[in-house]
Amino acid sequence: MTPVVGASRALRAQFFVLGVMFATWGVHVPTVKGHYGLGDQALAIAMLASGVGALMALAQAGRVVGRWGPRTVSAAMGVLCCASVACLLAWPHYAALLAVMLVFGITGSLFDVALNTEATEIERLAAKPLMSGFHGMFSLGGMAGASLGSAAPALGLSPQAHLLLATGIGAAVALLASRAMLPVPEKEAGETHPLSLPRGPLVLLGLLASMGLIAEGAMYDWSVLFMKDERASQPSTAALAYASFSGAMALGRFGGDWVRARMSGTRLMRASGMLAAAGMALALALPSPLAALLGFALVGLGLSNVVPVLFSAASQVPGVSPAHGIAAVSGVGYLGMMAGPPLIGLIAERASLATGLLVVVVFAVFMALSARRAMRGH
């Protein structure tokens, strides 16, 4: 087995761990709320602490990954990310939760940038598209983490026992897998740019990533409620909204590298945006719950390769290291992911949730129309 093949397998395991950690946190949001006796506002502030930590980390991620290399950063941040999730219920004080969430945001973001930087290096050495498949493992990890969390009570696991089990295995896998990752190239190690801020072509790439993540976050946060309130679906049917979207997204990512090998980035971004827009329009236009589920699946399929394509493009911007390019685009994208759900909620409160979700259609069309300019030279 060649070093590139070994590194590719190790990286897939790392992306899987990252997906499991985010899903494990998501599963335990109600548990955390009950453990600390929080209201919605206090819980939102705790989530904001994670976002603040992520933005703090992304501002320095290019320098950190460039200095220490993806292998070292992924090993350290992978273990610390798992440890922060393990500590979600460790203390009774709200201040401790805020500190844990801040660390989770910092370590999770640095872990993410390190993995995507390694992914671009493996793509370069393998001379073929691989990024979508790596992100597919993140999606698969999210599904696995959510499934384990749902099954934990039936298995007799307390919330803290489940956290320790999931994070213990995750930390061990992250640490072992990092040993097979590629060493950092010398040109990367010497870079000392102070901040990973978007400039030049990275501005538009970051804007498109932000729009893609707003649309993705809208599906995660609002699709089930849309089925329940706007389509009068039973809870069991409404729950399928999340499953149809995430399942289609995982499927699209695992097939995305095959598509990217046969289609230019411009054409793929254009097709992705139009497919996502058509899917959301279908879900909003027809009153049938089945049409909504089909529409959500098309949105997932359309958005599945947006972030992998944009990250690959960001890693190839002339004069910018892959780590800095990815961190810059990630930072703008993360801002969108944080701002998106409140934006849709505000529109929904003033008009309706269906009106709020029109944002997804508008942003998807903008991605399609901007594809040529954003992907110029890639």
Task: Name the residue ranges covered by the structural domains of the chain.
Answer: 3-183, 201-374
**Cβ contacts of residue 127 below 8 Å, gap of 6+?**
none
Same fold for the pair 3-183 and 201-374? yes
CATH placement of domain 3-183: 1.20.1250.20
**How far apart are the C-alpha atoms of 306 and 18, rounded to whole Å?**
19
- Which pLDDT belongs to residue 193? 46
The residue-averaged pLDDT of 223-244 equals: 82
- Which pLDDT belongs to residue 101? 94
Helical ranges in the chain per DSSP H: 3-27, 29-36, 40-86, 94-126, 131-151, 159-178, 186-189, 201-229, 235-238, 240-254, 256-260, 265-285, 289-303, 306-314, 322-350, 353-356, 358-374
pLDDT tens sequence across 100-141: 999 999 999 999 989 988 998 898 899 888 999 998 998 888
Output 142 or 184, whichever has higher pLDDT.
142
The residue-averaged pLDDT of 198-210 equals: 87
- Which pLDDT belongs to residue 355? 93
- pLDDT at 50 exceeding the cut of 80: yes
pLDDT tens sequence across 149-180: 878 888 899 999 999 999 999 999 999 999 99
- pLDDT at 197 exceeding the cut of 80: no
Do 256 and 138 touch, CB atoms closer than 8 A?
A: no
Percentage of residues in the chain having pLDDT higher than 90: 49
Pick the CATH number of 201-374 from 1.10.3720.10, 1.20.1250.20, 2.60.40.2890, 3.10.450.50: 1.20.1250.20
- pLDDT at 190 exceeding the cut of 70: no
- pLDDT at 207 exceeding the cut of 50: yes
pLDDT tens sequence across 60-90: 888 898 889 999 999 999 999 999 999 999 9
- pLDDT at 270 exceeding the cut of 90: yes
pLDDT tens sequence across 305-357: 999 999 999 988 888 888 888 888 888 887 777 777 778 878 888 888 899 99
- pLDDT at 200 exceeding the cut of 80: no
Do 134 and 119 touch, CB atoms closer than 8 A?
A: yes
**Cβ contacts of residue 89 below 8 Å, gap of 6+?**
28, 31, 32, 35, 159, 160, 163
Do 71 and 189 touch, CB atoms closer than 8 A?
A: no
Using pLDDT thresholds of 50, 70 and 90, give the confidence band for residue 22: confident
